[in-house]
Amino acid sequence: MDTLALDIRHDWTLEEVQGLFALPFMELLYRAHGVHRAAFDPNEIQFSSLMSIKTGSCPEDCGYCPQSAHHQTEVQKEKLAEVDRVMAEARQARDRGATRFCMGAAWRSPNSKDFPLVLEMVRGVRTLGMECCVTLGSLDEGQVAELKAAGLSYYNHNLDTSPEHYEKIITTRKFQDRLDTLSMVRDAGIKICCGGIMGMGEAERDRARLLQELANMPSHPESVPINLLVRAKGTPLENAETLDPFDFVRSVAVARILMPRSLVRLSAGRQGMDDATQALCFFAGANSVFFGDKLLTCANATTDHDLDLLARLDMRPQELTPQDLTPEETRAHGGPVPQDVGRAVGA
């Protein structure tokens, strides 16, 4: 890592953020890459794996989501997955190189019947030496406390878009509702995974406002997923205009400058990106990806392709280290884990 001093701020103005978006493309990437090198190893990518543990019938009306009960889509409804099945997928993800296992449930908020099983899943994933993230919708203070006690590493709750564009995408939950849930999670000492979706018909100003909201939180989200809209058939946004790839890369670069120590993750939409676009995103500061053939209900770039791309770029996945594993899991994993790749700052 370079020695450039990092400017950690929580008081960005909209004009400042728009000014970053307005920079010449190469100048913006140059600045973002300098910030990235100061905080992270630029040749290392953190792998996360995502599993849908409860699919479909969500009462929310998010315009991008094929799991909404408000939309006529091809998604098959599934009840909460069994704990053993989740643990099997988590082990498989770890053995393929994931250091974080994420679980998503299509709920407005967890119910009392299923929530204890989710806590069991969280505890189980943590015994594997992996970070654990869940996205379960809105929470109350008691649920947050139980997730913290179970060892949850991250809670994902995306803002999705700017406050001004939000009601064009979602009407069943207020923007402030999301902020309130994030505040409870942060106050409990759980790390936050929070980002948004690009390409939902928003203007560049909306992308700037979204990133301003994230950067001006009391502490930056430790993980910032930047999603590219997957235009799911049957959703209100299935015919949304395709976002220029360079505009997407700009969003990644601005996120890196605003939140220097956050992991910036390429999330949904990677299966539609060419390798050159992904390489530009990595240069601009993206240093985490979801890998595996499926993200909740949509297709994803294959694991083999991801590993091949990293090899072609002389990059490497972040690795598990001995302190991530219990003695039992270290033995099950095949003995000591190589230590030549250190943890990324802020992971």
Distance CA 272, CA 240 (A): 15
Mean pLDDT (whole number) for 290-306: 65
Alpha helices in 79-187 (DSSP H): 83-95, 115-127, 141-150, 163-166, 175-187
Confidence class of residue 279 from pLDDT cuts 50, 70 and 90? very high
Query: Is residue 57 left, alpha or beta, with left meaning phi > 0 and alpha meaning psi from -120 to 50?
Result: left
Q: Is the pLDDT of residue 95 over 80?
A: yes
Average pLDDT over residues 201-207: 96
The pLDDT of residue 327 is 46
Segments making up each domain of the chain, as ranges: 16-314
Q: Give the pLDDT band (50/70/90) at residue 295.
A: low
Beta-strand relationship, 191-193 and 196-198: unpaired
Predicted confidence at residue 142, as pLDDT, reads 95
CATH topology of domain 16-314: TIM Barrel (3.20.20)
pLDDT of residue 201 exceeding 60:
yes
pLDDT value of residue 126: 95
pLDDT at site 319: 72
Degrees, nearest 5: CA angle 144-206-188 = 15
Confidence of residue 325 (pLDDT cuts 50, 70, 90): very low
Q: What's 208's DSSP letter?
A: H
- List the one residue out of 289, 270, 282 whose CA is nearest residue 225: 289
Dist. CA 142–CA 36, nearest whole Å: 37
pLDDT in tens, 144-178: 999 999 999 999 999 999 999 999 999 998 999 99
Between strands 288-290 and 316-317, the pairing is unpaired
pLDDT of residue 346: 30
Residue 66 has pLDDT above 60, yes or no: yes
- What is the pLDDT confidence band of residue 283, given thresholds at 50, 70 and 90? very high
Average pLDDT rounded to a whole number, residues 126-132: 92
Q: Taken in order 33, 39, 41, 44, is the CA torsion positive or negative?
A: negative
pLDDT of residue 184: 95
- pLDDT for res 233: 84
For residue 141, what pLDDT band results from cuts at 50, 70 and 90? Answer: very high
Which tens digit of pLDDT belongs to each residue from 225-275?
999 998 888 888 888 899 999 999 999 999 999 999 999 999 888 888 899
Annotated catalytic residues are 58, 62, 65, 102, 133, 193, 265
